Amino acid sequence: MDAGAGWVENRPRRNGRALDVRELWRHRELASFLALRDLKLRYKQAALGAAWSITQPVAGAFTLYIVFHTVVAVPSDGLPYLPFAMVGYAGWTLISRNTGAVTGSIVSNASLITKVYFPRLLAPIASVIPGFVDFAIGLLPIAVVMLVTGIAPTLALVTMPVWVLGLGLASLGVGLLFATLNVQYRDAGAVLGLVTQLWFFLSPVAYPASRVHGAWRWVYHLNPAAGLLGALRWSILDGQWPGAPLLVSLATTVIFLVAGLVYFRSAERRFADVI
């Protein structure tokens, strides 16, 4: 028997592709295992268990309601402010939590990466799956508040998965950039914390994007979350459609995703050596 049979060299492909879909698909069961493991670890010793997926966004939305609606009287595009804030905060929680999870995905799987070959991209991809589960659970209190405030869903609701996926891809793209840096520079996580704080205030979570006028509106939508959160509110609450600036946010999402994939793939060969 050939002693070299079954040997796989851990190196990036040389065909210039940033993503090998067939290889990822062959290892899909590993992604499912990693995602399920993360979900179990998250709720294993939590007193409220999966209820945290409801408690956290609800508490955050009520904080926004008290500060930005009761105290500051920020408008909400004609929608009741509480569901407006809840949808925005749920979307923001998805993108911020997933970005952090992707950033730490390589380091947290160091023992696996240094011993076994698998497509390294599976670790970041698996880390975003629990965020989608949390978001789905977080829709329950939003549905209750919509019922209480008299907001009925429209046909636009069928587009909601598109905007949720967009938020996930945006977080994956940004997270891949930081995940690659985090392998060699552990303070990349601290930098991400600062970036996330600034990102929150630059995103229409507590206020509508319609408050930004003129040419600045286009600049503002260079933030992927700007158009995607607006579209998410439109799909769930029948809010204001983001309009043409949404295309800017979608384009930026694609740019971040491609840049993150290319940078990650170019550096993954060194992960096992420096992690």
Among candidate residues 265, 251, 219, 15, the one with its CA nearest the CA of residue 121: 265
**If you average pLDDT over residues 55-62, what whole number do you get?**
85
In degrees to the nearest 10, what's the CA dihedral of 219, 224, 227, 229?
Answer: -140
Q: What predicted TM-score, i.e. pTM, was given to this entire model?
A: 0.87
- Residue in the structure block whose two tokens are 């991400």: 192
Say whether pLDDT at 3 is over 60: no
**If you average pLDDT over residues 174-201, what whole number do you get?**
91
In degrees to the nearest 10, what's the CA dihedral of 213, 215, 216, 217?
Answer: 60
Residues 6+ apart with CB under 8 A from 19: 121, 261, 265
* Domain ranges within the chain, ordered by starting residue: 21-36+46-274
Say whether pLDDT at 15 is over 50: no
Most confident region among 25-34, 53-62, 83-92 by mean pLDDT: 83-92
